[in-house]
Amino acid sequence: MSDLNEQMDEEFSCFYKDEGFGPAIHSQPVTPEKLARFRGKLPDQLLTYWQTYGFSGYGKGLFWIVDPDEWEPALEAWIGDMPFMEQDAYYVVARSAFGQLFLWGTKSGLSLDVKSLWGMIFPRDNSERVARGKSDMLVRSFFLGLTAKSLEQKDYLDKPLFGRALGALGPLSPDEMYGFEPALAAGGRADLKSMRKVKAVEHLIMLAQLGERQIMRDIVKDAKVAGLMK
């Protein structure tokens, strides 16, 4: 991997330095074969990040850039039987310590946000921008907009859990996440005492099977239809 300071663009630098997500942890170099496999399916900008930084954790493991191949079973469990799959080809490109999945669609861009702990899927259609050749810009904007607060999970008292989970349970490995037992979607309580380190893909598959997955409203699309946004 290349020297970080030499290779960082402005958006990634803001994510890494200004927002405090650096340094990277558990960096796994991405092979030329992997890059070639996803060339044309994912934006060149994302593949550049892969090549430069590898598949890595950031913010002490709060956020991860991931290998879509390893997370395909989780993707299949969450949206494999939904209409989304008939409209586009999707890949998990990033995830949080709490099993929030960020999905890229080849036609729709960063268009699905899966909040697995609560059984919610948030759609956002970026197909116009992708069609106008703005995929790389979407990737840079995604990293520019990431904050620790946006990735945090709060307890039942509305207090952040990540730092306390890190201290109590230890840091995550690339294949782990923080989950709740019993799961929140099954009536569990958002409490540090209920938290466990679990194998992420297996736990995500289990969460997808717990109950009905809720597809939330695309508030950006609603605003555009209402003439509130362009």
pLDDT at 216: 75
Cα dihedral sign, 143-149-154-158: negative
179 backbone dihedrals φ, ψ, rounded to 5°: -125, 175
- Are 195 and 189 a contacting pair, CB within 8 Å? no
Angle at 116 between CA 27 and CA 182, to 5 degrees: 105
Say how far apart CA 45 and CA 76 lie, in whole Å: 25
- Are 112 and 105 a contacting pair, CB within 8 Å? yes
Domain boundary assignment for the chain:
4-225
Give me the numbers of helices (H) and strands (E) for the chain, helices first please: 12, 10
pLDDT at 27: 97
- Are 190 and 165 a contacting pair, CB within 8 Å? no
41 backbone dihedrals φ, ψ, rounded to 5°: -100, -35
pLDDT at 226: 35
pLDDT at 211: 77
Say how far apart CA 180 and CA 212 lie, in whole Å: 18
pLDDT at 4: 53
- Are 15 and 49 a contacting pair, CB within 8 Å? no
pLDDT at 191: 96
pLDDT in tens, the chain (230 residues): 444 555 689 999 999 999 999 999 999 999 999 999 999 999 999 999 999 999 999 999 999 999 999 999 999 999 999 988 889 999 999 999 999 999 999 999 999 999 999 999 999 989 999 999 999 999 999 999 999 999 999 999 999 999 999 999 999 999 999 999 999 988 999 999 999 999 999 999 999 999 778 887 554 443 333 343 35
- Element (DSSP H or E) covering residue 105: strand 100-105
